[in-house]
Structure 1
Amino acid sequence: MPAPPLLWDIFCQVVDNHGDLGVCWRLSRELAARGQQVRLWVDDARALAWMAPGATEGAVPGVRVLPWARPIAPDLLASLPRADVWVEAFGCEIPPEFIAASARQTGDKGQNGLKPPVWLNLEYLSAEAYVERMHALPSPVLHGPAAGATKWFFYPGFTPATGGLLREADLPARQAAFDRAAWLRAHGIDWRGERLATLFCYEPPALGQLLRAWAEGDEATHLLVAAGRATAAVRQAIQHEIGLQRLLDGRQQLSISYLPHLPQTAYDELLWAGDLNSVRGEDSLVRALWAGAPFVWHIYPQPEDNAHHAKLEAFLDWLQAPASLRQFHHVWNGVTPGALPTPDLPAWRTCVQAARARLHGQDDLATQLLGFVARKG
């Protein structure tokens, strides 16, 4: 007999609404697709209006988006059944009033016949060695209304000894049915067979250099720029790169389309359309891996201690990146100065598709979470 569905509380504190909220929404949606019930607590859900239209209105069966106010309203807490699983995403902490309300429902030492929730701390994604060491370790709660309980570290990752990556069950079928030309037409993009590059980034130091190389190059390139910081970065680079605007107006080897905010499903399709994708942060990195096209990752910068340098290097090691791809990442992320190497798209594609094949041989994040909760519940 299949296990009965569980009720999950996932807490998301928005720092970067593309990444933190994007991962939590994808996870909530995938758990619901597998028969689970999810309450997604978010302190700022505004980005869901374009990221997942209808999400806050209950358009996805099994997922309820709730406002994470501070404090949470007592009448709301009193009206909710207690969940089977708690998930603290990306270092946020479940508020004490929520924990206290759950403790009252459970009763002293479970006298009300309820098991305590399985409590997970879902961490950031990294390929660094500590992830395998720390994954699935317990963390006793020593203070507060949950004293005596246990949290469990759960680390997404790229190897079988980690928690895996988010991958929807229907993703391969969706990608196999994708029609690039039809998708571009539907989104108003005038594509005439030229190389397609997508750009979702922060402010990469070498952006102006890359735009100039494409504008001066022999092969025509059509750049599809994501809304927000990527659009602002491109416009600023054109303004500050001497003579670049004249090149764009003259040779027209580089054409640029500025995109609106795309729902998550459409962003996946954008990456399927690209011949070269530039992604940033965590969620879009994973989507680029599943897309299987050559990509460059703009890692979230941590300039106070440059901790992102080691994180980038660990990922490139896992990826088994060829020398040109590794050098491109170093210059793109400002790790080393210098000129960007010419992208070797065939070699980069081979590398990415080999990495994707390795990942397909491992259980995805939702599958591993469900298995872990079943063992600990």
Structure 2
Amino acid sequence: MLWDVFCRVIDNFGDVGVCWRLACDLGQRGQQVRLWIDDPSALSWMAPHLQWTESDSIWGLPGAQGQPGVTVLRWRDAETPASTTPGLKAGDVVVEAFGCDPPDAFIERMQARAAQGQPAQWVNLEYLSAEDYVERSHGLRSPVWSGVGAGLSKRFFYPGFTPATGGLLREPDLIQRRQAETGTQASRDAFLRRIGVDLACEPADRQAHGGTILLFCYDSAPVADLLDRLATAAPRARVLLTPGHATGLASDWARAHPDATLRLHKLPPLPQEDFDRLLWCSDLNLVRGEDSAVRALWAGRPHIWHIYEQDDGVHAGKLEAFMARWMGDWPDELKASVHAWWMAWNRLGPMPDKLPDWRQADTSWRRNSENARDRLARQQDLTSQLLTFVSSSG
């Protein structure tokens, strides 16, 4: 099938991150995907193997290729009328990611296809939520009553954490690849060296180095409070800083604490596959947004999620629902401790004095994170469900 996936980049990288993963996963499964994106700049580091060309692509438009089955196209080219690009037809499936409406000119192409008796499957891929309404809303059809799309209909596809939802993005070989690529200390060290992390001063006793933490956050994260606690509890910890807010906030702290022994390392922007490996190599992952949150789940390591803050405060309920799903069967003491940190990291509660034990492989936090991951992995992944979803008439 030919898929048209539409993505608008709002203010961070989560939208394009999810859409790129979905497009790649579909392409690896033999599908043909056109990813229409209004701001493809993040793909320069997220997928640096892509090659842009201004010469005609297979559909008569400039685009980027380099990923099997996937072509990246500019949103503005989907806005051109059919008379300008007569070779461009609507695909078999049209996915609007997170409620972004395809351009009217493209919807007209969908109408032309429907008039020929071959309507495209129109899917609204929604944001991830663990709230109860997801199960009620997943798969619902929404007829279009007015405008250029009148007479067509779309269906809602909700990612989620239960069998009554659309599941989570997970490539078929992800868990096995994690073990094969970073299952040993030597392989983890080799990867960290490859991305520029200095391991030359590592102590001979691996238990003495204090552990590795990945820090990826929004600008509201209480980074200074976290580093204060780490400086006392794990003074030799290695903190890997993603570009942007994490690097800026940690650098401010370091200037105010010139004698601290925490090892702060600034990372370059990384392709998605290397970001996944980074999660696999870290003992504790602090992540933000939807795409990184899901990848942290699959890493099976202790993690803390920084949810995107919303002005009306509804993110607090979303965070609580997510914690309830993820930590549902954890021991009460661990659950309470990790819950307190997730709330504090999102400025929804006071920050505890110390983190639960996260540095060793046999800690309760690590074991329960791995168990929760394995439980989720028994659920069918999002792409497999989406393929079945669009193959049915609904």
1:336 match: secondary structure: coil
**One-letter amino acid of the counterpart of residue 361, structure 1:** R
- Note the alpha carbon deviations across 1:220-244, whole angstroms, 9 max, x for none: 20000111222122223445xxxx4
1:67 aligns with 2:74: yes
Q: Distance in 2 between matches of 1:12 and 1:342?
A: 37
- Note the alpha carbon deviations across 1:254-291, whole angstroms, 9 max, x for none: 10100000000000000011000000000000100111
2:167 match: secondary structure: coil
Query: Among residues 2, 7, 18, which one is paired with 1:23 in the alignment?
Result: 18
Residues 219 and 234 (structure 1 numbering): CA distance in 2 closer, same or farther, change over 3 Å?
A: closer
Aligned-pair identity in percent equals 48
Q: How many residues align?
A: 358
- Note the alpha carbon deviations across 1:281-307, whole angstroms, 9 max, x for none: 0000010011111000001011x2111
1:327 aligns with 2:344: no
The Cα shift of 1:14 comes to 0.3
2:80 and 2:105 in contact (8 A); partners too: no
After TM superposition, the structure 1 = structure 2 runs for residues 298-317 of structure 1, keeping only pairs within 5 Å, are: 298-302=306-310, 304-317=311-324
1:123 aligns with 2:122: no
1:88 aligns with 2:96: yes
| Unaligned residue ranges in structure 2 (runs of 5+) | 53-63, 182-186
Give the structure 1 partner of residue 8 of structure 2.
Answer: 13
Q: After the TM superposition, which of the residue ranges 255-264 and 344-353 deviates more from structure 2?
A: 344-353
1:215 aligns with 2:231: yes
After TM superposition, the structure 1 = structure 2 runs for residues 163-178 of structure 1, keeping only pairs within 5 Å, are: 163-178=166-181
**One-letter amino acid of the counterpart of residue 259, structure 2:** L
Q: Distance in 2 between matches of 1:127 and 1:323?
A: 19
Residues 356 and 8 (structure 1 numbering): CA distance in 2 closer, same or farther, change over 3 Å?
A: same
Residues 49 and 66 (structure 1 numbering): CA distance in 2 closer, same or farther, change over 3 Å?
A: same
- Note the alpha carbon deviations across 1:43-100, whole angstroms, 9 max, x for none: 0000000001133530012111111118722366422233000101011111111111
1:66 match: secondary structure: strand
Query: Among residues 184, 187, 196, which one is paired with 1:188 in the alignment?
Result: 196
Q: Distance in 2 between matches of 1:116 and 1:278?
A: 43
The Cα shift of 1:342 comes to 2.2
1:202 and 1:233 in contact (8 A); partners too: no
Give the structure 1 partner of residue 218 of structure 2.
Answer: 202
Residues 89 and 208 (structure 1 numbering): CA distance in 2 closer, same or farther, change over 3 Å?
A: same
Query: Among residues 145, 148, 170, which one is paired with 1:145 in the alignment?
Result: 148
Q: TM-score, normalised by structure 2?
A: 0.87
1:9 and 1:38 in contact (8 A); partners too: yes
Give the structure 1 partner of residue 105 of structure 2.
Answer: 97
Please list every run of at least 4 consecutive aligned residues from structure 1 whose deviation after the TM superposition is greater than 3 angstroms.
Answer: 236-239, 338-341
Q: Distance in 1 between matches of 2:142 and 2:177?
A: 39
1:282 aligns with 2:287: no
1:59 match: secondary structure: strand
| Unaligned residue ranges in structure 1 (runs of 5+) | 1-5
Residues 318 and 127 (structure 1 numbering): CA distance in 2 closer, same or farther, change over 3 Å?
A: same
After TM superposition, the structure 1 = structure 2 runs for residues 226-375 of structure 1, keeping only pairs within 5 Å, are: 226-239=242-255, 244-248=256-260, 252=261, 254-302=262-310, 304-320=311-327, 322-345=335-358, 346-375=363-392
Q: After the TM superposition, which of the residue ranges 197-206 and 134-143 deviates more from structure 2?
A: 197-206
Q: Distance in 2 between matches of 1:268 and 1:60?
A: 18
**One-letter amino acid of the counterpart of residue 269, structure 1:** R
1:11 and 1:94 in contact (8 A); partners too: yes
